[in-house]
Amino acid sequence: MQPYTMPISTGYGEQPMKRYLTARVRYKRAREPQLRMARLRLLLLLGALSVITAASIKPAYSSDVEMFKLYAHMKVANDTQYRCLVSLWYLESKWNPTARNPKSSAFGIPQLLKMKETNPYKQIDLGIKYINHRYDGSCCKALAKHKKSGHY
């Protein structure tokens, strides 16, 4: 049996189809490095964003802070004074019992000078004692002073 020797035609002639396929292949090959670079840039961008996002995620709000605030609320019976105290100590230390002021020796939740106390509840007691002594027990006066001068 003889093999089929007649060429298969697409109807367009062999040259135009060959030229079209060659141009299409050349186009795809010419774009490969661009596509590869685009994919690489995209992956680098996604990686950088994931690192930035992971670094900027803060841990969940500590339940310890809520306990400190509850303790302070028990010590400061007046609700208005308590709200002023919460604002004041948020501005000072964000209720962080290990907060340090790099410009002074202030430490802890109330940011008292030369305080060595590490127990947050005792820090709260000392801070309220200081406010009672210096501002006649008015946390709102202490907050107003802080807003004017940056400290209380």
How far is Cα of residue 74 from the mean position of the Cα atoms in its chain?
A: 32
pTM for the predicted model, two decimal places: 0.60
The H or E element spanning position 13 is none
Q: Are 106 and 113 in contact (CB under 8 A)?
A: yes
Predicted confidence pLDDT, tens digits, the chain (152 residues): 566 565 555 555 555 555 555 777 767 777 778 888 888 888 888 888 887 776 665 554 578 999 999 999 999 989 999 999 999 999 999 999 999 999 999 999 999 999 999 999 999 999 999 999 999 999 999 999 999 999 99
The one-character DSSP state at 135 is S
Structure tokens at 24: 């299409």
Question: Can you say whether residue 13 is alpha, beta or left, with left for phi > 0 and alpha for psi between -120 and 50 degrees?
Answer: left
Q: Where are the alpha helices (DSSP H) in the chain?
A: 14-56, 63-75, 79-93, 120-134, 139-149
